[in-house]
Amino acid sequence: MSRFVVVNITRETKPVSEKGFGLPLMLATSKELDFKIYTDISEVAADFAETTREYKLASRMFGQSPKIAELACYGTSYVSEADDVTALTSTLNELVQINNEFFYLVCPENGDKEIKALAEWISTQEKFYGVTTQNVALVDELKGMYENTFLSVHDDPDAFHAEGLIAQSAPKEIGSYTWTFKQINGVRAAKLTNTELNAVLNNNATTCINEMGILLNASGKVLSGDYIDVVQSDYYLRARLREDVFRKLAMVEKIPYTNEGIAQIVDVMDSRFKSAFRQGIIATNDVGEPDYTITYPLRSEIPKNTIAKRILPDIKFRLVISGAVEKVEINGVLTL
């Protein structure tokens, strides 16, 4: 301490909670279990015998490369033949009041009614549900209905192909990969006829196929027909923009309602979009620059009543998703 020099520092470093995009949740059904995190299959074995579907599902997920760092789990006692399927969604509603940080949902139950109920529940969330079914007809029934559910069809009830896809993708940075072509450890090609395979792919589902000697995931779409990575990018940008702008509002004394203050909010958005471009989410334009624009009003263009309410309206953006190449067409001519 000094009587002559006084230094005051205000710490504005308290972190704003960021939504996680790499944590899968296994909704267990063989017994009640408080929310917990597994980091290895040996930890799963302490709660579930190797004969249970929970253990087999977790084994598939921990068996991928890159390996997931964590698998969350929350359990309820549920018997498909005896219990109402709403028991599953009620359990999830309870969970999100306690912990809502997971991004992917998997479940050992893969009957039609369970899949429909969980797909309906996840449609109210900015999360993804992945499941492997043995019923080709179910894919046709659900086609176009959900933007955040993806189905894989496989004849092996223990394949957990979609769940393996989640595990392989969860550790990666959103925007840096596509879901098609991925090889899932431990899953063989599904025994589907050509007619069944075409039905699966035409109805926005996927399966494991043998293509040119390689076992790979045949498609990367959600049931709505959008690509999984595009919807992921949507959810990612929504969450990060909310966090970034809130952090700006909360961590400074004041953002003045001036053109300069409006520019501060726009700068926050601009920084996030530049980061998203570096991740591979946003495409480049014809001159090699990130392809996005942000438009916003000046203070003089905003109604006084809106200013009095301290609401900043009409900030809009347009961006082009980079997407991915998944099919190549080559035309050529051979001559003598």
- Tens digit of pLDDT for each residue in 269-317? 999 999 999 999 999 999 999 999 999 999 999 999 999 999 999 999 9
Angle at 117 between CA 116 and CA 119, to 5 degrees: 65
Average pLDDT taken over every residue of the chain: 92
Exposed, middle or buried by CB within 10 Å (0-12, 13-18, 19+), for 175? buried
In contact, 24 and 72? CB cutoff 8 Å: yes
What mean pLDDT do residues 218-225 have? 96
Residue 92 and residue 28 in contact, taking contact as beta carbons nearer than 8 Å: no
pLDDT for the residue numbered 2: 46
| pLDDT surpasses 70 at 321 | yes
Residue 4 has pLDDT above 50, yes or no: no
Lowest mean pLDDT among 18-27, 77-86, 239-248: 18-27
Counted residue by residue, the chain has a size of: 336
Looking at residues 205-220, what average pLDDT do you find? 95
- Taking the whole predicted model, whether its pTM rises above 0.85 is answered as yes
